[in-house]
Amino acid sequence: MIIEHAGKRPAVHLTSSVAVDATICGDVTIGPNTRVLYGARIIGENGGQITIGSNCIVMENAVIRGTPRHTCTIGNFCLIGPNAHVAGAVLEDEVFVATSAAIFHGARLGQGAEVRPHATVHLRTCLPAGVIVPIGWVAVGDPVHILPPERHEEIWEVQKPLNFPDWVYGVPRDTPHWMQQVTRSLSESLAVLVSDRIVREDCETRR
């Protein structure tokens, strides 16, 4: 379904198509010949922008999110795998995000980058063109470190100064009870949910 959210309505190119049980919501622009498969969620949260190019495939139950702080831009010929998550990142052309991979806010993935199943590309990480993140590994930082999960100490050394709570939610990690600040502010901004309006129910979107 196509949902108007926070006063913004998705624009899907007439040659693209959206499965009947997928959701496109808010300030989302989708180019030609892109396919959004069953159960995928493409959510421009509270005015957050998402742009997806041509010939992209967004697979079953994938989640793509843009927020007011972090626009999400996906180029042409990209594939976002089943159960994958892309939030507030920039993907150049021909990027492959495999099953259950996760890409975070402010990441930039160069042309032809490949993020394998269960891998993570963390916030503000720059993945150069053509680089592969192996199954279950973590890419973090700029310049990027690509490490297996057991090398947590090294991952955290790079990740900590990137300051996830501050970058993503505007609440520095050393704020007392930072989770209270984060969730309160999300709760307030997401109150806009009540004004959501279904624009179209059907699978084909022509405009």
The site for a copy of itself (CB under 8 A) is made up of 1, 3, 17-21, 23, 25, 33-35, 37-39, 41, 43, 55-57, 60-61, 63, 65, 77-79, 82-83, 85, 87, 93-96, 99-100, 102, 112, 117-118, 120, 134-138, 148-152, 155-156, 177, 179-180, 182-184, 186-187, 190-191, 193-194, 196, 198, 203-204
CA distance 77 to 55: 5
CA distance 54 to 205: 15
To a copy of itself, the closest distance from the beta carbon of 123 in angstroms equals 11
To a copy of itself, the closest distance from the beta carbon of 126 in angstroms equals 18
Nearer to a copy of itself among residue 19 and residue 131 (C-beta): 19
Nearer to a copy of itself among residue 71 and residue 84 (C-beta): 84
* Closest residue by Cα to residue 99 from 81, 124, 86: 81
To a copy of itself, the closest distance from the beta carbon of 164 in angstroms equals 9
To a copy of itself, the closest distance from the beta carbon of 143 in angstroms equals 19
* Closest residue by Cα to residue 139 from 113, 118, 121, 165: 121
Output the furthest CA–CA distance in the chain (Å, rounded).
51
To a copy of itself, the closest distance from the beta carbon of 203 in angstroms equals 5
Contact 137, 155 (CB under 8 A): no
Q: Which residues have C-beta within 8 Å of that of residue 1, sequence separation ≥ 6?
A: 20, 21, 22, 23, 24, 198, 199, 200, 201
